[in-house]
Structures are given as structure tokens and as C-alpha cells.
Amino acid sequence: MIKATIFDLDGVIVDTAKYHYLAWRKLANSLGFDFSKADNEQLKGVSRMESLELILKIGGQTLGETRKQELAKQKNDWYLEHLDKMTDDEILPGVVDFLDDVAAQSIKIALGSASKNAELTLKKVGLLERFEVVIDGTKTTRSKPDPQVFLLGAAGLGVEPAHCVVFEDAAKGIDAALSAGMYAIGMGNETELGHAHLVLPSLEGVRCTALQKQLVR
């Protein structure tokens, strides 16, 4: 029986991945190399500093810790410029109706994201009050595929992991959910997310009752 839902943010609730890509690419360009959309796929579910390390590796650059902290802040400042212009148009199809349905079934709702801007993002699109618990990059010490973010979400909701279902668009996020002993629903490409219990193209038209019947371990 599902008692709680835990959602990733980027690519599941809102489409802000494009803004991360634009900010990271601008950073890479400022350092003298390019950063492609294919490269950006490696950053799904990865923390800011780990993302920076991957980008520097792509560019063949080795920098000191102080400089890396400066670059991480610069990237975030560019990202926040995009975020400041966000509206509820960024909410992905079916999300609001599904959150309504989840709440109507008295199923708890949490967010589990690597983003350090998760609460700000939810506030900008008018969804912050829908989440009883928000676990983001400011509250975790380990990144996905470590299950920490989801286990903290379950603990915050007071629900055992076995009764939680996670919605994720990244393979590392699915790995984290499975490691936590939770149901995992992949949002997107079945080729990449096929190890989840279930893969959906979007939340459009999805309802809790039907979903629970489809989740078989």
C-alpha cells in the first residue's frame, strides 16, 4: 500500500533542466570550451559541485578549491537569473492534477532533489504548499545514487520506505529509490529508466488508484 510519494524536481515537477544547461554551458564557454546537451545528460540528479567536477573534466581543466567555489557560485547566479523569470507555465503536464489526486487519497507528498534552489523553484511556480516535506541539496551530504535524500524524505513524512513511491527522471535517482527499498517510477525514457518498477512518459492522465495496481515488485 502506498502511503507517501516523493518527487524529484527537475524533469518531474518542472522543466528547469534547460536553465541549468544554459548556465553550465555559459560557464564552460567562459573557461574556453563548449558543453553540449549530450554532456548535460551526465548531470541529471548530480549535485552542483559534482556537476562542476564533471564539466571541468570535459574541459580538461584542473582548478583549486577556491576557484571551483567561485565558479559554482557564478553558475548558480546565472541560473537564478533564469529562475527569477519562472511562472507556473514551467510545471510539466499532468503534475497539478496528479498532486490533487494524491492529496485526495490522503497520500503524503515530499520532494527529494539535489537542487539547492528547490524551495525557491516551487515557490516561483506556486507549488511549495503542496509538499509536506522538502529535502534538497541544502539538507543532504550525499548525492544520488545514494538513497539519503529519499530516506530523509520518508523519515520527514513518518512513513516506512516500503510504503513510499519515488518519481524520478534520472537513472541515478531510480538507483537511489531502489536502494532505499522504495517503489521507483521512471519519468521519461524506458531505455534509460527500464530498471524502475514502472516507466511513464508523463503524469498526464495518471491516477493513484490505477498506478497502485500497476506497481508490482
Q: Tell me the C-alpha distance between 149 and 137, whole Å.
A: 8
The H or E element that residue 54 is part of is helix 48-58
8 labelled catalytic: yes
Strand runs labelled E in the chain: 4-7, 108-112, 133-135, 164-168, 183-187, 198-200
Strand-pair partners of 110 = 6, 133
Question: Per CATH, is 4-15+90-214 categorized as 3.40.50.300?
Answer: no
Could you tell me the pTM of the whole model?
0.84
Which residues, 6 or more positions from 142, have their beta carbon under 8 angstroms from its beta carbon?
148
pLDDT in tens, the chain (217 residues): 899 999 999 999 998 878 889 999 999 999 999 999 999 888 877 888 999 999 999 999 999 999 999 999 999 999 999 888 888 999 999 999 999 999 999 999 999 998 889 999 999 999 999 999 999 999 999 989 999 999 999 999 999 999 999 999 999 999 999 999 999 999 999 999 999 999 999 999 999 989 988 885 4
15 labelled catalytic: no
Distance of CA 132 to the CA centre of its chain: 17
pLDDT score for 1 = 85
**What pLDDT, in 10s, does the model give residues 118-156?**
999 999 999 999 999 999 999 999 989 999 999 999 999
CB 68 within 8 A of CB 52: yes
Catalytic position from the list 10, 136, 169, 175: 10
Which residues, 6 or more positions from 56, have their beta carbon under 8 angstroms from its beta carbon?
31, 62, 63, 68
Domain map (residue ranges) of the chain: 4-15+90-214, 17-83
Length of the chain: 217
Q: How many CA atoms lie within 13 A of 8 on its CB side?
A: 32
- Could you tell me which CATH class the domain 17-83 is placed in? mainly alpha
CB 185 within 8 A of CB 167: yes
pLDDT score for 164 = 98
Residues 65-73: contacts with CB under 8 Å, at least 24 apart: 71/27, 71/31, 72/48
Catalytic position from the list 8, 136, 169, 175: 8
Q: Is the dihedral of CA 126, 201, 49, 58 positive or negative?
A: negative
Q: Tell me the C-alpha distance between 119 and 48, whole Å.
A: 16
